[in-house]
Amino acid sequence: MGGDNAPASVVEGVSIAMSRYPELNFILFGDRDVIGPLLTQCRVPTTRCEVIHTDEFVRSDDKPSLVVRHGRKTSMWLSIDAVKKGEADASVSAGNTGALMIMAKFCLSTMKGIDRPAICTAMPTKTSQVVMLDLGANAACDANNLVQFALMGSVYCHALFGVDRPRVGLLNIGSEETKGREEIKEAASILKQIKDAPFEFKGFAEGTDIFPGGFDVISTDGFSGNIALKSIEGTAKFLMSALRSNIKSSWFAKFGILFALPALLRFKRRYDPNLYNGAMLMGLNGITVKSHGGANAKSFANAIGVAYNLARHDVISRIRNELETFKPLTSDTLSNKTLNKD
């Protein structure tokens, strides 16, 4: 029931995801009287889709602190609780981000060895993709948080994209070691000292380093990460709008676009933002995926695909195993400063 286009975009997205992944089944939480006709309209088979009725849902302007105390019957809470109870392998929502994060953290709890969960997603680069976290869950982070994000991001990158030893960077205002806030420089110092890390630490990454392909994982605080993400999204929308305006500016431009059309279509297929919708709330004892609030049906289906791949590759267990076998990056060890040093 959450999101700008819900529940229509959600039901249509489910229909698309069903055709892509024949083995998937769904539980939809929300108003049955509203969802039922949409399921019929989209020809969603009832054998693969169960509807759990609730007329309570989280609104976009609801305060997360109030929702977590009084929203136990909302569609958002019930969907996350289904993951906790083992009734679902993953939960997907396009609703209120703050409410989703605090509900998921309260319901699923944070993994042992992780101080704070992070919002994590993959974005296309010139050569492949880059995993970024945190993208808005934690406005301020200390060095330990940034180091833990690096570990979780590397596991995500390895599990979903098959990168054996992901190249990790810390988002910063410069590549020089003297630049940046103290917590970023401290995190870099910790990452450099760790032996046999499941990733290769490549140092600081500037904003211009996100897309060339030199990094597989970029760790950052939620404040900087969210600004970077929204700036990227805004730039993409501006460029597309400017391109359309220039194409319509003259008959010559309209004629010329016919020759450029194949290249433009390849570009769209590679860099369409809808293809990269779906961010994992990483560091929790269960899979919860946040879809963009303005997602259309195709975009929401891709968020479902992210959840499916996370469950299929058992990312939660893999992160737990990494935390257990590589304790220099866990919260207890970091707080005691007992690191392997050269």
Q: State the pLDDT at residue 193.
A: 87
Q: What is the pLDDT of residue 268?
A: 67
Tell the CATH topology of 118-274+320-336: Isopropylmalate Dehydrogenase (3.40.718)
Cα separation, 74 vs 329, whole angstroms: 36
Q: What are the residue boundaries of the structural domains of the chain, listed by start?
A: 8-108, 118-274+320-336
pLDDT recorded at residue 338: 43
Per-residue pLDDT tens, the chain, 342 aa: give them.
Answer: 999 999 999 999 999 999 999 999 999 999 999 999 999 999 999 899 999 999 999 998 888 888 888 889 999 999 999 999 999 999 999 999 999 999 999 999 999 889 999 999 999 888 889 999 999 999 999 999 999 999 999 999 998 899 999 999 999 999 888 899 999 999 999 999 887 888 999 999 999 999 999 999 999 999 999 999 889 888 878 887 887 787 777 877 777 777 777 777 776 666 677 778 999 999 999 999 999 998 999 999 999 999 999 999 999 999 988 888 766 555 556 655 544 444
What's the CA gap between 164 and 243, in Å, rounded? Answer: 38
All residues at 6 or more sequence positions from 293 whose CB lies less than 8 Å from its CB, including other chains: 2, 3, 4, 60, 94, 95, 97
Stated pTM of the model: 0.87
Helix (H, G, I), strand (E, B) or coil at 195: coil
Burial of 308 (0-12, 13-18, 19+ CB in 10 A): buried
Alpha-carbon gap, residue 44 to 29, rounded angstroms: 15
In one-letter notation, the amino acid at residue 75 is: S
Q: Which residue has the tokens 């109030």?
A: 66
The Cα 231–Cα 147 span in angstroms is 24
